[in-house]
Structure 1
């Protein structure tokens, strides 16, 4: 069977699904508001480490040696921040898809308000610790936001499936970048942002579960399309491919993580592989998902083997460290060499 999409029947239109899912949106919104924790971006920025930059304040220019962050972590945090910077476009996309009325509209504005904290805190952190070149960062922000983001999801089902996958992927990207920072301020901040993304994922995943019960074939077909063609919203960032390759090589976010920590948990929670209520279109979609998982596993395995071989060669080619000189013994004589 080919991987071509099967056209959707017209049983559930966009407006019909919006209306039918509205009570579920209200329930999940109430749960989200109960679980969400108030936090303040300025409390996560180590301002005591900051100092003036060059320019009108005549401070010290940024130099690479000032950054406490490993190169791959810099890439990860820049990608994460520039992705968050495009919030105006994301707000437009989800408002266009979900609408601004009823519980849908309440959610859209609440989500946007919560997401707005992420770029504010992350940019403050990077400036305070001199983590990346602030001039290049601003130029990249201007280029990326000026380009904007335009979603390619053709239906409400596709939109819900995409944000469920994307929020979980973003949670992993933020959390893993924090762990790789090697310093406590970055780890604390990225863990806090990841907690927000997790709650957003839970909201969208809950709606996906509701939609799967309401229209299983429609949802499975949309989910298969999203999974097989998935791209992170930051893929239009200048230099994204090269940065993504370095991020993957460092183990911060790669195909294995996407398969093991994003797709598999989502599919298990939504009971995608065990559903017994699918028609021909839903079964076809489930087969597409299964084949895609096999392809991802194979690519992830081969990339892991390649990284292991490269790491082994680098280890073997690294010259041995010079012998350690022992500290002087009492009496002023050096210890034996």
Structure 2
């Protein structure tokens, strides 16, 4: 049983809710938010659910100057039977604490954090959309709040959770997207913060993403930051390739984020007796397989999009058209199974689902 007691202040001026079939990603926010404070004397304390509101921070707060912050992303799903459920929130909280450790932020109580999220989602349950493919995106994050311009870890923090009803992450949905391989910019390097979910990793990716968007590509495929030949991630997702019937995904190496969906994909594939090989793979090798007709599928995995098939890869002036630009059999089966479990339409043999509303 948690030692914390969550206080609750009701929002007396609720917002107008958007139509479930007119949602984009991350544009609307619910009526309430969760906040918990940290200082060295009390540790994590004063957990509360309050009306959604602006934050009041000192201009010298460390988060603004040195980027000491981490975040997570997970979803709540409304089933056809009007139940609300989460998908593997324990893995998100475990990863949040790994990110906390890397960024010198005090660890949170993972079990309590899940309870707080369930409490918040239950209060704002009317915001969980019911149109096909929609969900309630949950964004837990920690910010450093001490007003200090010295380069050192903050003494004070806030752990915050906000909620956002969302539609599809990509307008293309499960249809294949076009990806450009990035050769100029670097997202992260081993020994850096690539394996932590921290804001700076995403800020550093924006320039490359902006440039390829102008050329009609949905995202970039990142290569390693040292030799720029080993495949790492695609956009903000982990990446998988089907080569000669075998699934290959880059091995975790200290610069690749360990995705919850990535882990789920690997567990599902092994459950289906499909070989999964976590290893280094270069663009040269991938292109060689493509030329031989052995590159059968490519797809990204992540919380927001779940599974995002890749129909085209552009690399050094060459274009690889994968599976005739169509969604592959494995990508489709993974998407259908994962979303089926998330929405309560498929059996959950792994005990991944956590109920919010029974």
TM-score category of the 2 structures, normalised to the smaller one: under 0.3
- Which structure features the higher share of strand residues? 2
- Which structure features the higher share of helix residues? 1
Higher Cα Rg: structure 1 or 2?
1
**TM-score, normalised via structure 1 length:** 0.25
